[in-house]
Chains A and B, each alone.
Chain A
Amino acid sequence: MNITATLFVQALSFALLIWFAAKFIWPPLANAIEERNRRISDGLAAAEKGKAALVEAERKGDAEVKAARERASTMLGETEKRAAQIIEEARDAAKAEADRMIAGAREQIASELAKAKTELREQVASLAVAGAEKILQREVDARAHAEMLGKLKAQL
């Protein structure tokens, strides 16, 4: 119950314990907790950043898909137009070819007709002479009537 020298021993013990706590307990614990707090806040910030990046990437991806779709539809339209054009061209070419062939055939027909007419003309003269010989019962001098025959040939 009395105050004795125990007081000094106890005070010294107290001082030693405080020194020990200040040197070996407080700093590592404070550092560990602070370090963890820092890491947690860093992690949260990184998560936030990641979320923002994800949103940005999604936005970009959407835009790209939209652009690609637009490009595809333009290409499709162009292709269709081109196909129609090709068909049109083919049709025109075929028609031209057909016209050309018809014209050729007509030309050939006309030339053959002319040839036949010419041949016929040649033969008409001799036929007429032969007919006249029969009628007159005598030879007709073809040379004497050549002028008349020539006129006849031209009339045919």
Chain B
Amino acid sequence: MAAQELHTPSDYISHHLHNLTVKVGEGGFWSLNMDTIVMSWILGIVGLGLIWMVAKGATTGVPGRLQSFVEMFFEFVDSTVRDVFPGSRALLGPMALTIFTWVFLMNLMDLLPLDWVAGAAGLVGLHAWKPVPSTDLNATFAMSFSVLILVIFFSFKAKGAGGFVHELFTAPFGSNPILWPFNFALNLIELLAKPVSLGMRLFGNMYAGELIFMLLGLLASIASFSAGGLLAGVAATALTWAWAVFHILIILLQAFIFMVLSVVYIAMAHEHH
């Protein structure tokens, strides 16, 4: 587990919080978190690929177990979207399905023992590998700002460009020209607050969950050096287990919240008049 390099607890934690970064161009902003990208792709392909395989061979007769499960999931997403959004679900349905599947699988990676992942990455010569893409702000913001684009798109669709701009400048306070800057500022904040809170919520939950796993892992490793080691080790194991069980709930809940809020934001944009 590369224990020789990691002497202090802060080394351990900062090691686990590092992304595998590859520079494109001059670095800084122009760099890519390869672990996030690769893990997202794998999870997206596995998740949607599985559903796709079932959907491709879907029978209208008596469905098998896997098809029943996929259809149950489909109906769940479909009814969730239908409850919130009255229009056509040709785009929002697949979006919600993608969000839930993708975010759930990303979050699920949090249950992989992180030292094993880091160890496996070390064996193939990678100095860092964060297996949970949703602990990377880039991944969560990528989704939440894509949702913002859809919010703006649906606003345009529902009100037209003129109506959207008109609402932007006149909406909460009134159409007096003096109030235009205030209206605009408030609307801008409202518009931006949605994706920021959406992305931050998922990121914060998963990041904090990951951090707690690290601290518990640290407790276990420190315990093995001290006198009452056995007791601390047992406590760390039990707590890690308990946290993992609790985390199963968080994983599902965060995926669900992300999906529902995305649909709600878009539905609000669509309905406003």
Residues of A that sit less than 8 Å from B by CB: 1-11, 13-15, 17-18, 20-22, 24-26, 28-30, 32-33, 35-36, 39
> Is chain B's binding surface mostly helix, strand, loop or mixed?
helix
Are B40 and A3 in touch, CB under 8 angstroms? no
Which partner residue on chain A sits nearest B93 by CB separation? A26
B97 to A: closest C-beta gap in Å = 5
Given contacts A10-B40, A10-B143, A28-B58, contact A18 B98 (CB under 8 A): yes
Residues A15 and B146 in contact in the complex (CB < 8 Å), given A29-B74, A36-B60: yes
- Residues in chain B within 8 A of chain A (CB atoms): 17, 19, 21, 24, 28-33, 36-37, 40-41, 44, 48, 51-52, 54-56, 58-61, 63, 70-71, 74-75, 78, 90-91, 93-95, 97-98, 102, 133, 136-139, 141-143, 145-146
| Residues of chain A lying within 8 A (CB to CB) of residue B95 | 18, 21-22
Given A17-B44, A21-B48, A29-B74, A9 contacting B37 (CB threshold 8 A): yes
* CB contact between A30 and one of B48, B61, B78, B133 (< 8 Å): that residue: B78
CA A24 – CA B98 in complex, angstroms? 12
- Contact residue among A6, A22, A35 (Cβ-Cβ distance under 8 Å from B37): A6
Most interface-central of A9, A29, A33 (chain B CB within 10 A): A29
Q: What residues of chain A lie closer than 8 Å to B139, measured between beta carbons?
A: 6, 10
Q: Is A6's CB under 8 angstroms from B32's CB?
A: yes
What is the distance, in angstroms, from B128's C-beta to the closest C-beta of chain A?
12
What would 6 more interface pairs be, CB under 8 Å, given A4-B28, A5-B30, A29-B51?
Answer: A5-B32, A11-B143, A15-B146, A20-B52, A24-B52, A33-B71
Q: Is the CB of B32 within 8 A of A28?
A: no
A10 touches B142 (CB 8 A): yes
- A6:B71 contact, CB within 8 angstroms: no
Q: Is the CB of A14 within 8 A of B32?
A: no
